[in-house]
Structure 1
Amino acid sequence: MKTTLEQWRAFQAVVEYGGYAQAAERLHRSQSSVSYLVGKLQEQLGVVLLEVQGRKAELTEAGRVLLEYAQSLLSEANGIETLAQRIGEGWETTLKLVVDAAFPTQALVETMHQFNGRAPATRVQLTEVVLSGAEDAVMEQQADIAISAHVPVGRLGQKLCDIEFVAVARFDHPLHQLGRMLTEHDLKSHLHVVVRDSGMKQPRNEGWLGSSHRWTVSGFPASRAMVVGGLAFAWLPTHIVQPDIDAGVLVPLALGPYQRRFGALFLIYGHPDRIGPATALLAQLLQETVTARCPVLQ
């Protein structure tokens, strides 16, 4: 390369601060050295970037175009230095996050948005699992943080939140036409959709499984689609189906105290003996997000 980052930084500073003297003051250099760097840059490029008009340096059209590229170049260079500094301070370059599918997506997005702003040098590998899938990830050391419905034997976990599940069917489902409190016998006569456990070591079934006419799907989106389509009923996380309930598309089943149930989710460290700065930050942000959404999640 003919040019250097130092030259591009001097050029950017002259434009950003309005002149050579101002740029020299901000860069803690002499005005002559800044002028030399920019002059040498133009000479090496064979392009005029700045024209001095009175006491102010004005961008040429070529300078305006190249400045945009220079700003991206300098931003990336700063990012590399920040990454190197974070690595030197012990920040993880990669963080594996395993999340139970019942955890609210919006809360997860809010958390990751904050995390990205405070730990941009750490790459996140996010995996969504169901039931014992998070336990498997912890025991197989495939997670730095897991949000799990159960804490594996021999491990410690901090309760993060309770997730409410509600039994629902489409507004025109035959179960709603009975006009009375439903019984187990009523449910057994209709198709029930359940979500398959993604774990392999000790897969579990949870909730009511009394219906012999049962379909199993891989996740909550598929289960919701079946219910919204009028094919079946299911217990689904309230935060997923509440918009459908508000719109009148889905209606909770008349099951009295059995209509709703709760399941706890726990935050578990995959490597509790070596929790890095990024892992600690993400755990803190998850807890703060859940606390902020306390009326919904806890």
Structure 2
Amino acid sequence: MAKVTLEQWRMLRAVVEHGGFAQAASAIHKSPSSINHAIHRMESLLGVPLLEVKGRKAHLTGAGSVLLRRAERILESVQNLEALADNLSVGLETEVVIAIDQAFPERILSQVLTAFSQRYPVTRVELHETVLSGTEELISDGKADLGITPCSLSGRLGEFLMNIDFIAVARPDHPLHHSTVLTESDLEPYRQIVVRDSSSKHSINVGWLGAQERWTASNLHTSVAWVVQGLGYAWLPLSAISTYLENGSLKPLPLLVGAKRSMDFQLYHADIDKTGEATQYLAELIIKGCDQKSTLLLPKL
């Protein structure tokens, strides 16, 4: 049996946050005398002083600071537990699984997940970062609730999100930049950097030109790093390399044709008829976040 109750820890926290017994009493709707009694009782049970009054404000003692810091974790866990119980009582999902192609802009994803976490703080998000048909595999196998991919999913309708440009680039000192105009045959002697399809069932190659040398990465960030290091050339999403283009670390290749490729990214539901409230809200945030005419407003905490 615990010596001190959660309510007593909440009272102590309120006194510290609001600077005194009277202020805390007003904030948590308790009488000053009941808070005073509760904290004196805590000190008696724990055997250490928790508060000391300096001027007109109550401050934690050294021991009080250590104990309250530990208690804060417990209080937060209890709040999350209670919120989870509320979600379960109304049938809200405890977890949303989403598969997103690595070329999808990180800035948009970060904004979307921030807004989602504020609306559903105890709903877990499991993110699978995929390449090409990897999203299709997870959606088809029922391992993801939502998927974002540039690949069309057979037998499924997707929601158009945005068009993403892939630019052929290399370091400014790469030999390919010695020419003012390049054709496909000019690329053949040089190493091309590609990203491996993350699907384990039907891997596809998009963009490989059959170069004599090819290095394959499983992660987009690795492929970008290799190109920045001068290890080869690649078609990379503009959203992932804009900073490198601006600071001169990368330079577009002067290709006569094919210097830019565009891919339409779409949002897919695993089963839209069974989509829960939290999953649907996340889908709406993604759609809104990709709308250039719309501003994704984060809910107030």
Partner of 1:123: 124
Partner of 2:299: none
Partner of 1:199: 199
Partner of 1:91: 92
Alignment of 1:269-288 (within 5 A): 269-288=269-288
Deviations 1:190-249 (A, max 9, x none): 222222211133322223524344333323233223322333221111122222222223
Q: What amino acid sits opposite 1:132 in the alignment? A: S
Instruction: Quickly say closer, same or farther: Cα 1:29–1:149, change in 2 above 3 A.
Output: same
Deviations 1:251-271 (A, max 9, x none): 211124421010111111123
Partner of 2:298: none
Instruction: Quickly say closer, same or farther: Cα 1:42–1:139, change in 2 above 3 A.
Output: same
Partner of 2:297: none
Alignment of 1:92-111 (within 5 A): 92-111=93-112
Pairwise CA RMSD: 2.7
Contact 2:15 2:58 in 1 (8 A): no
1:22 CA drift (Å): 4.8
Distance in 2, matches of 1:70 and 1:175, equals 62
Give SS of 2:244's match. Answer: helix
Alignment of 1:1-298 (within 5 A): 1-17=2-18, 19-50=20-51, 58-59=58-59, 61=61, 62-179=63-180, 181-207=181-207, 209-292=209-292
Q: How many residues align?
A: 292
1:121 CA drift (Å): 0.3
Distance in 2, matches of 1:16 and 1:225, equals 47
Instruction: Quickly say closer, same or farther: Cα 1:216–1:51, change in 2 above 3 A.
Output: closer
Instruction: Quickly say closer, same or farther: Cα 1:255–1:43, change in 2 above 3 A.
Output: same
Give SS of 1:126's match. Answer: strand
Instruction: Quickly say closer, same or farther: Cα 1:28–1:229, change in 2 above 3 A.
Output: closer
TM-score (norm 2): 0.84
Contact 1:14 1:57 in 2 (8 A): no
Distance in 2, matches of 1:195 and 1:228, equals 15
Distance in 2, matches of 1:18 and 1:188, equals 72
1:20 CA drift (Å): 4.4
Larger radius of gyration: 1
Structure 1 spans left out of the alignment, 5+ residues: none
1:60 CA drift (Å): 5.8
Instruction: Quickly say closer, same or farther: Cα 1:24–1:195, change in 2 above 3 A.
Output: closer
Distance in 1, matches of 2:139 and 2:44, equals 59
Deviations 1:37-75 (A, max 9, x none): 333323222333346799x67346244443444444333
1:103 CA drift (Å): 0.8
Distance in 1, matches of 2:253 and 2:25, equals 72
Distance in 1, matches of 2:198 and 2:249, equals 29
Q: What amino acid sits opposite 2:240 in the alignment? A: I
Report the more deviating stretch, 263-272 or 57-66: 57-66
Distance in 2, matches of 1:94 and 1:210, equals 42
Deviations 1:131-181 (A, max 9, x none): 1000000000010111112232121211111110011122122222123x2
1:115 CA drift (Å): 2.1
1:30 CA drift (Å): 4.8
Report the more deviating stretch, 14-23 or 247-256: 14-23
Deviations 1:67-116 (A, max 9, x none): 44444433332222122212222222222111101112222222222222
Distance in 2, matches of 1:227 and 1:237, equals 13
Instruction: Quickly say closer, same or farther: Cα 1:145–1:51, change in 2 above 3 A.
Output: same
Distance in 2, matches of 1:276 and 1:20, equals 44
Distance in 1, matches of 2:248 and 2:34, equals 71
Distance in 2, matches of 1:159 and 1:255, equals 29
Report the more deviating stretch, 109-118 or 263-272: 109-118
Identity value in percent: 42
Distance in 2, matches of 1:214 and 1:44, equals 70
Distance in 2, matches of 1:221 and 1:15, equals 45
Give SS of 1:273's match. Answer: helix
Distance in 1, matches of 2:227 and 2:146, equals 32
Contact 1:98 1:126 in 2 (8 A): yes
